[in-house]
Structure 1
Amino acid sequence: MSLIVEQVYIFLYAVLAGGILAFLYDILRIKRRAIKTNVVILSIEDIVYWLLSAIIVFFTVYNINDGQMRGFIFIGNILGVTLYLSLFSRIVIASSMLVINFIKKVVFFIWKVITYPFRLLFKILSVPLRFIGRCFGKLGRLLFRISGKAAHKAKGAAGSGVKKVKVWGKFIRKVRKKT
């Protein structure tokens, strides 16, 4: 095989490696759109991506050109990244997000179906629990009016119960609004 043909193959492999690097970055972009993460995790992901990219470029150069670094290999990598980003990136990201959003909707629907009996039971039980909470609240206020210090202590205990019932009442109202 002639030297020029061999270098053309090396260049094409470098273009392919650049396309693979851009595809891996698209996977990272899709993950970031689908799952929101904090800055520390993003930084770690970037570091892992660049380490993986360096390993891919190293193995590409090592396998196709016996480890000899040539300028046209880097030009091939840049051309591969550019071609992938201009031709395929939007399609890959859009179709992947479409599939991910569909899967999210299916999982959410299944979750609603599975949790429906529990939500219904919670709605049914909320009415008597609210009534019991109101009764204890009235009992605590009644005790406070009847006797001074002893009633004040009782109200403190009943008052904490009333606060808990009020919190549960707010929680129940929020759940009812959502269902």
Structure 2
Amino acid sequence: MPLTLEVQFNIVLYSIFSGILTGILFDLYNIIRGVKVPKIIVFIEDILFWILTAIIVFAFLLYTNYAFLGPYVYIFMILTLIFHIKFISPKVLKVELYIINKISKFIRVILKTTIYPIKIIYYSISGKK
């Protein structure tokens, strides 16, 4: 039984979304990976990243279009990923770095604020200055 036009459109749309999702995950991975890492570690990290990404994309496609994996699903995912890396990735990286910096600053302030009273109590009990 051939698929209806609406189902085919949804499959292509979700393929494009999964390509964007893969691109965003790839940007996050580039931020986390670092610069000066031995090649064997980079190789292992790459393998683990692509396994995790495959699982996430498969779960996304399973949830959205019952994991219909025709050839054009892969084609649209790859084309969207290439488009994302070429044109959108620099902007997304800036936004991700901004969000990461703000979250880390917030966590640092919260930790310092909560640890300071504990230090005061500890120093007053132990008699240290």
**TM-score bin (small chain):** 0.5 to 0.7
The alpha carbon displacement at 1:61 in A equals 3.6
Q: 1:64 & 1:98 partners in 2: Cα distance? A: 30
1:16-57 deviation line (CA, Å, top 9, x unaligned): 111111111111112234x63322321221111110122133
Alignment-derived partner of residue 53 in structure 1: 53
Shift, 1:96, TM fit: 4.5
User: Structure 2 length as normaliser, TM-score?
Assistant: 0.62
Structure with larger RCO (C-alpha < 8 A, sep 6+)? 2
Corresponding residue for 2:81? Answer: 81
Unaligned regions of 5+ residues in structure 1, if any?
108-179
Secondary structure, aligned partner of 2:45: helix
Distance between the aligned counterparts of 1:15 and 1:60, measured in 2? 12
Question: Normalized against structure 1, the TM-score is what?
Answer: 0.47
The higher radius of gyration belongs to 1
With over 3 angstroms needed to count, the CA separation of the structure-2 counterparts of 1:42 and 1:63, relative to structure 1, is same
Counterpart CA distance in 2 for 1:96 and 1:60 is: 21
Take 1:68 and 1:100, find their aligned partners in 2: how far apart are those partners?
35
Question: Is contact 2:28–2:96 with CA below 8 Å preserved after alignment?
Answer: no
SS of the aligned residue for 2:85 comes to: helix
**Residues 1:95 and 1:56: Cα distance change in structure 2 (over 3 Å):** closer
Question: 2:36 and 2:100 mapped to 1: Cα distance?
Answer: 14
Sort the Cα spacing of 1:100 and 1:9 in 2 relative to 1 into closer, same or farther, 3 A.
Answer: closer
Q: Is the 8 A contact 2:16 2:76 kept in 1?
A: yes
2:23 aligned partner, one-letter code:
A
Alignment-derived partner of residue 26 in structure 2:
25
* Structure number with higher helix proportion: 1
Which residue does 1:10 correspond to in 2? 11
Corresponding position: 1:41 with 2:37: no
- Can you give the 5+ residue segments of structure 2 that lack an aligned partner in the other structure? 109-129
CA RMSD of aligned residues (A): 3.0
- Aligned residue-pair number: 103
